[in-house]
Copies of this chain bind each other. A is one copy, B any other.
């Protein structure tokens, strides 16, 4: 038995016997189950069956598709339904979506078994687009009207908690009779208030605007919501619809996940990877296919560069040093351009710059690119002139480097800003466009100048 498997079993055994010093996270449990599945299919089922519904849902959300499939096929339906009911509404929607991708019919069956309230919440949340705040919210929250006494509100909270309906409450949302959001009072203020007071009194006795709520619309872009969380150091944000009615709340852990996922998406997109295809653990088919389409695109641009080079075949034939040196010009252009591009893409994503800052960004990127182009142009010029004992070759490659690296800085900054302006994700298309430009300009300037000056 491998050491890895040993550890996995020990950890899960201790978890089930509640002997662990530190609680296992659902991520850990899913990870250990995966290890056991890889090594011992039979025991894997036993462990799966031991998971109680309270953790099963959370663990399932961390599982790869093939293991979720095991859950819905091996475990009794009642248990899976109970596990889903234990989740918060946003997680219910997400897990059902995973199940739907695996087995549409099963997902519908499970949905029909859920209690009515959960069904209604799930339907409410399912209408939102992937990038809308509504898709990230949960409907479970703690709200009260102005005329309710704090004592009575807290009695309700106690009951909801005991029923397992509510967790992680940081704010009381105050609504009017139409359920429109009016105020938001942090619990650490409420706990110091007089419980006999009504919520309305508490608001009135506080400084003006003290409880004016931060909020977001359900149709707001989740990116903007994440920015709000960060700029105002929020732990929770109430979500209202276009009529001002309180429909849910987003908690800080959802925002964490979002920030991590969008960073992964950006990093992957810049390298021509699809984050969803790469997540698939059990098959390399999707990942391979999505990578192939990127390589295909790059093959096209590489052929274009070769086409440019082919115009200069006579020049190369009579002066083979050009063939030896030309990859340097295009590679350096690509590197300098990628630097400018990466900074611009990331700053756009973080909202630090936008299209209106183009003048400033371009000035900065071009300045850096021009200075570095001169330094490296001269350096490579000297190396080339000495290596091939041809001073004019140094002049040619120096000039080509200055042209190519300077333009790389310009393109590296302008491409993502233009894509953003056109509402295309700058992380997705920028780098292939950039390479096309830097390669073609690199080969064209170097071989063109060489034909003109050297031949």
- A26 within 8 A of partner (CB): yes
- A325 within 8 A of partner (CB): yes
* Contact call A235/B168, Cβ cutoff below 8 A: yes
* Contact call A25/B161, Cβ cutoff below 8 A: no
Chain B residues lying within 8 Å of A332, measured Cβ to Cβ, are 295, 298-299, 302
Apart from A187-B187, A313-B320, what are 8 other A-B pairs with CB-CB below 8 Å?
A: A25-B232, A230-B253, A234-B253, A235-B253, A267-B270, A287-B364, A288-B368, A299-B328
> Closest Cβ of chain B: how far from A68's Cβ, in Å?
17
* Contact call B299/A376, Cβ cutoff below 8 A: yes
> Closest Cβ of chain B: how far from A342's Cβ, in Å?
4
- A305 within 8 A of partner (CB): yes
What is the bound-complex CA distance between A267 and B302, given in angstroms? 25
What is the bound-complex CA distance between A191 and B233, given in angstroms? 23
What is the bound-complex CA distance between A329 and B288, given in angstroms? 19
* Contact call A335/B298, Cβ cutoff below 8 A: yes
What is the bound-complex CA distance between A194 and B231, given in angstroms? 36
Chain B residues lying within 8 Å of A264, measured Cβ to Cβ, are 346, 350
* Contact call A316/B323, Cβ cutoff below 8 A: yes
- A310 within 8 A of partner (CB): yes
* Contact call B346/A268, Cβ cutoff below 8 A: yes
Interface digits, A270-302 against B, CB 8 Å rule (1 contact, 0 not)?
A: 111100001000001001100110111011001
What is the bound-complex CA distance between A27 and B383, given in angstroms? 48
Ordered by A's residue number, 30 sampled pairs between the chains whose C-beta atoms are within 8 Å are: A25-B228, A161-B189, A168-B188, A168-B233, A168-B235, A229-B253, A233-B253, A235-B235, A266-B267, A267-B342, A267-B346, A271-B338, A273-B343, A278-B343, A287-B364, A288-B367, A291-B339, A292-B372, A292-B375, A295-B335, A298-B331, A302-B327, A302-B331, A302-B332, A305-B331, A306-B327, A309-B327, A316-B320, A317-B317, A331-B439
Chain B residues lying within 8 Å of A190, measured Cβ to Cβ, are 191
- A170 within 8 A of partner (CB): yes
Interface digits, A66-109 against B, CB 8 Å rule (1 contact, 0 not)?
A: 00000000000000000000000000000000000000000000
* Contact call B291/A368, Cβ cutoff below 8 A: yes
> Closest Cβ of chain B: how far from A425's Cβ, in Å?
14
- A259 within 8 A of partner (CB): yes
* Contact call B158/A192, Cβ cutoff below 8 A: yes
**Top-5 shortest CB links A-B:** A263-B263, A25-B231, A323-B323, A271-B342, A233-B253
* Contact call B230/A380, Cβ cutoff below 8 A: no
Q: A324-B306, A439-B327 are in contact. Are A157 and B188 (CB under 8 A)?
A: yes
